[in-house]
Structure 1
Amino acid sequence: MDNLNGAKPHFVLVPLLAQGHMIPMVDMARLLASRGATVSFVTTPVNAARIKPVIDGASDAGLPIRFVEFKLPCEEAGVPEGCESFDLLPSVDFYKPLFEAIIMLREPLKLYLEQAKPRASCMVTDYCNWWTSEVARELNIARLVFHGPSCFYLLSSRNIHRSKVYERVADEHECVVVPGLPQRIEITRAQAPGWLADWKEMQGRVMEAEEAAAGVLINTFQELESEHIALYIESTKKMVLPIGPLSLYNKDAKSKATRGDKPSVEEHQILRWLDSMGPRSVLFVSFGSLVKMRPLQLIEVGCALEASGRPFVWVIKEAEKCAEVEKWMSEGFEERTRARSLVITGWAPQVVILSHRAVGGFMTHCGWNSILEAISSGVPMITWPHFADQFLNERLVVEVLRIGVGVGIKIPVFHPEEDRVEVERGAIESAIASLMDGGEEGDERRTRARELGEKACKAMAEGGSSYGNMTLLIQFAMEQAHNGIAD
């Protein structure tokens, strides 16, 4: 714990209500509190219930974190009651209403900040929560933006937007070169249209709020993206602090297992199964909290896993395991793969699994949290992007860092209406063989992944780059208090 002389900083963290956005900010809250800062973490009743073990653990450890629960106005915004996170919504039709419900938290947040003791030194808010910029300005509180995605994605998106490169191509599937990068990276408008591209007004507000922010925090580390971080700082002219991988705050098995939600299978059962497998022999397959595969594609994945002959852990969402999938699994798949498979329906403790010595590869949707967790464990990846930042993250993993193999997906798929196969079993099986075997190329890929994992751990340890940046963050907040912006 840091010895904080003088005013003790009070951080107020306002995440977006989405699992991939909340999880790293919960880690940030605990990390700040462990270093002596007071933290208020804004959430809602349903989301607080999902992270109850984390809340209880913070309380037991005596960490100065207040989990502040605001009632989300679901009914007023037209959101189904209890659907307080994007992964809980029954369809994408409710995405915009949920955003509108979150914006309605403006007044409760302002009231909390007006009454908070000690007064907030600094707000750290998800970049999507543009409305917090207005609150910060009205109450004269310094505001920092937190970005969950990679700096490579942030820089690429910024350069694409500013150069208007997409305006020079008529076909959304035509490749363009991303301007201003150290490497030649090609992408299509369909693969990387820009977050919130369909909601121009909101996109504009998000960008304005970021320009007004005092600085930017990114869940990455200097040694992973040094060139891109330098270019991003040059472009934004802001204080930019890489403070990750935040997942590495979780060092013991219990804290790893309780990140995000209650696991569907007990941690000790998973560990016992993994303990029975050889080192680096298991492929872990999981596609995040939002991606929902249709039955035909899910079955195609299962067929490829069976044909690969390798041990695997496969996470299937409750919403994916329909009667058709269950029928297919019961008609031989379960029996034929029983000796080498662990199928988890629901939420899985991903960091627990990735950090186990038996795991040698990870098939992922390329969400940045998942990529960072794999990198932190030194695990190479099979990349299967679907939407948002994921295609650019794939380019970073496969083409820049060279620690991944793509399945060959070209067309983004968010929530497919049709039950069709986007990637056939042969391509999936080929990617598995390339990653898990791969000869000399595979050995080099595994070596690079392992070296990055070691660098990630050093970055978060005392004396490391991210540790130092967290110190700078705490000093920044203390200066706000000292200068009278906070009491």
Structure 2
Amino acid sequence: MASPPNNNPLHFVLIPLMAPGHIIPMIDMAKLLARRHVSVSILVTHLDATRFSPVIDRAVESGLSIQLIKIRFPCEEAGLPRGCESADTLPSYHFIGNFFNAIIMLQKPLEELISKELMNNNPSPVSCIISDKHITWTAATCDKFRIPRIVFDGMNCFTQVVSNALFISKVYERGPPDEPFLVPGLPDEIEFTRNQLPGLFNPGPLDVTGVREQVRETEKRAYGVVVNTFEEVEKRYVDEFKTLKNGKVWCVGPLSLSSKGDLDISQRGNQASIDTDQCLKWLDGKNPGSVIYSCLGSLSRLSPAQFVEFALGLEESNHPFIIVVKKSGSKSEEIENWIKEDGIEERTKERGLFIRGWAPQVMILSHASVGGFLTHCGWNSTLEGISAGLPMVTWPMFAEQFLNEKLIVRILNTGVGVGARGVVHLGGDEVKASSNKLVKRSEIKEAIWRVMEERESGCERRKRAKEFGEMANKSVEEGGSSYLNIELLIRDIQQLVKK
């Protein structure tokens, strides 16, 4: 694990969770650190090395000191099908327990790599490990080698503060699961139902309680937390979270803005499943602000019945639209059969674009023809929408996504919800949803109309979204809040190394 040659003695090792939404921002962070002359190593599986090598290779060619550490992912030993090295490749989320068992098996080979470096007296030993919060064994590893451990959390500070308030108050335990309650102790009046809460407070059919408890316990032992957000978008909640973490919180986002060239933006973290020029040509043919871009994330898997409502809601909105269709999952073939039998792709070809698999999302969102973003409210996508200055149609699915929706709709006032009622737990992708839990096409159409409308409320929403987009871009420029936080993080670790 020899660090790349660099005059700066600092060497950061980044350990992401093996899932696109977790790896991509880690790679973005690596570029930001390397631009400050820090040597960076990123732990990846062989599958993810194939996916992300082009972006890293371009960074190295530009003079940045970054390397990928390829480590064998023990799929078969953990009971996973061969080649399942990332969460988005699991044939079913019923394998999620096996997936985390495989991750646990990575501790020994990584510690062997660190031991080798120390025994060889490498001139740039590991100065700091930035670990995804779900890689909980890194807490023990960092204790063993006396290396500072910083948690990377893919959530925002609002979600962190809300989660802490829920954990302390237990207010969600006091009523029926569909009854709204007020979260105590927040700067704003925020309501949820228990059905809308993440698995820590609202467990699903898969037993990952042990993982969640380990995450919370090992977070307490971390030296600090790096957050993919910017202070201006949630200032009061950043201040609250810093109080909880004794000031050791560095907001360094939006990390998506770290990509500078068109190629890095169009292939950010992966190979797009559509020719970028083809996509841009299609967008060039649409009126400014007229297109609704819809993508429900890399891990969300709709039932065929829900996909039908999704697609027909877009069609009935009468707006030009882009829809990203999953290629993986147990129901993907059934969905493709419906698309063909219904004829929707052919019927809407003049104003609809169907993208299979991975889309060049950041590039699409920044195009002048796009006027709204229908999103699952995963924080990466939410922040990309904020950075593009777009109002959003919010359709949270699982994890903390209902909390992100509340930030968009209730606090920032830049979004409209489709009326999703509760989380779809991991493992629920293979459970047929009852009709009363489906988000109806009429609800999707109505939310799109409200976001895209020209009346006063729509114009005000777009104005606010544009202002937040300008704040996001200024935060990462020289002198901006996130730019300075990267500097402060590096200085903090430098001081630790000197001791």
TM-score (norm 2): 0.92
1:348 aligns with 2:364: no
C-alpha displacement at 1:325, in angstroms? Answer: 4.0
Unaligned runs of 5+ in 1: none
- Give the one of 451, 460, 476 matched to 1:444: 460
- Contact 1:296/1:420 (8 A) holds in 2: no
- Give the one of 152, 156, 159 matched to 1:150: 156
- Contact 2:198/2:398 (8 A) holds in 1: no
C-alpha displacement at 1:81, in angstroms? Answer: 1.2
Structure 2 counterpart SS, 1:339: coil
- Contact 1:133/1:209 (8 A) holds in 2: yes
Correspondence for 1:231: 240
- Contact 2:200/2:209 (8 A) holds in 1: no
- Give the one of 450, 457, 460 matched to 2:473: 457
Q: One-letter code of the match for 2:42?
A: F
Over 3 Å counting, the alpha-carbon distance change for 1:138 and 1:424 in structure 2 is same
Correspondence for 2:79: 78
1:359 aligns with 2:370: yes
Q: One-letter code of the match for 1:424?
A: K
Over 3 Å counting, the alpha-carbon distance change for 1:438 and 1:395 in structure 2 is farther
C-alpha displacement at 1:19, in angstroms? Answer: 1.1
Of stretches 384-393 and 415-424 in structure 1, the one that deviates more from structure 2 is: 415-424
Q: One-letter code of the match for 1:271?
A: L
Q: How does 1:461-472 map to 2 (within 5 A)?
A: 461-472=477-488
Correspondence for 2:401: 390
1:94 aligns with 2:82: no
- Contact 1:7/1:481 (8 A) holds in 2: no
For residues 195 and 456 of structure 1, the distance between their equivalents in structure 2, rounded to whole angstroms, comes to: 30
C-alpha displacement at 1:104, in angstroms? Answer: 1.0
Q: How does 1:37-186 map to 2 (within 5 A)?
A: 37-116=38-117, 117=122, 118-169=124-175, 171-186=176-191
Correspondence for 1:30: 31
- Give the one of 206, 219, 222 matched to 1:210: 219
- Contact 2:230/2:482 (8 A) holds in 1: yes
Unaligned runs of 5+ in 2: 1-5
Over 3 Å counting, the alpha-carbon distance change for 1:284 and 1:223 in structure 2 is same
1:192 aligns with 2:197: yes
C-alpha displacement at 1:332, in angstroms? Answer: 3.5
Q: One-letter code of the match for 2:179?
A: E
C-alpha displacement at 1:158, in angstroms? Answer: 1.1
- Give the one of 219, 224, 228 matched to 1:219: 228
For residues 100 and 84 of structure 2, the distance between their equivalents in structure 1, rounded to whole angstroms, comes to: 12
Correspondence for 1:317: 326
For residues 248 and 131 of structure 2, the distance between their equivalents in structure 1, rounded to whole angstroms, comes to: 15
- Contact 1:195/1:389 (8 A) holds in 2: no
Of stretches 53-62 and 21-30 in structure 1, the one that deviates more from structure 2 is: 53-62
Structure 2 counterpart SS, 1:314: strand
Of stretches 116-125 and 218-227 in structure 1, the one that deviates more from structure 2 is: 116-125
For residues 420 and 324 of structure 1, the distance between their equivalents in structure 2, rounded to whole angstroms, comes to: 17
Correspondence for 1:262: 271
Correspondence for 2:287: 278
C-alpha displacement at 1:321, in angstroms? Answer: 4.1
For residues 15 and 335 of structure 2, the distance between their equivalents in structure 1, rounded to whole angstroms, comes to: 40
C-alpha displacement at 1:168, in angstroms? Answer: 2.4
For residues 281 and 116 of structure 2, the distance between their equivalents in structure 1, rounded to whole angstroms, comes to: 49
Post-superposition Cα deviations, 1:346-378, rounded to whole Å, max 9, x if no partner, equal 111110111111110010101000000000000
Over 3 Å counting, the alpha-carbon distance change for 1:420 and 1:54 in structure 2 is farther
Over 3 Å counting, the alpha-carbon distance change for 1:419 and 1:392 in structure 2 is closer
C-alpha displacement at 1:212, in angstroms? Answer: 1.0
Q: One-letter code of the match for 1:97?
A: N
- Contact 1:191/1:412 (8 A) holds in 2: yes
Structure 1 counterpart SS, 2:110: helix
- Contact 1:294/1:420 (8 A) holds in 2: no
Of stretches 235-244 and 285-294 in structure 1, the one that deviates more from structure 2 is: 235-244
For residues 332 and 152 of structure 1, the distance between their equivalents in structure 2, rounded to whole angstroms, comes to: 42
Structure 2 counterpart SS, 1:181: coil
Of stretches 72-81 and 109-118 in structure 1, the one that deviates more from structure 2 is: 109-118
For residues 79 and 166 of structure 2, the distance between their equivalents in structure 1, rounded to whole angstroms, comes to: 34
1:379 aligns with 2:390: yes
- Contact 2:15/2:42 (8 A) holds in 1: yes
1:478 aligns with 2:494: yes
C-alpha displacement at 1:114, in angstroms? Answer: 2.3
For residues 99 and 128 of structure 1, the distance between their equivalents in structure 2, rounded to whole angstroms, comes to: 9
- Contact 1:295/1:419 (8 A) holds in 2: no
Correspondence for 1:247: 256
Correspondence for 2:315: 306
Of stretches 418-427 and 250-259 in structure 1, the one that deviates more from structure 2 is: 418-427
C-alpha displacement at 1:230, in angstroms? Answer: 0.6
The list of structure 1 runs, each at least 4 consecutive aligned residues, that deviate by more than 6 angstroms after superposition, is none
Post-superposition Cα deviations, 1:140-180, rounded to whole Å, max 9, x if no partner, equal 101111111111111101110011222323x2222221122
C-alpha displacement at 1:194, in angstroms? Answer: 4.1
Correspondence for 2:420: 409
The size of the alignment, in residue pairs, is 478
Post-superposition Cα deviations, 1:26-81, rounded to whole Å, max 9, x if no partner, equal 10011111221000101110111111221221232232111001101112111111
- Contact 1:214/1:238 (8 A) holds in 2: no
Post-superposition Cα deviations, 1:231-254, rounded to whole Å, max 9, x if no partner, equal 111123241111000000012221
- Contact 1:294/1:419 (8 A) holds in 2: yes
Q: One-letter code of the match for 1:156?
A: V
Post-superposition Cα deviations, 1:92-121, rounded to whole Å, max 9, x if no partner, equal 111111111111111111122223331111
For residues 226 and 395 of structure 1, the distance between their equivalents in structure 2, rounded to whole angstroms, comes to: 16
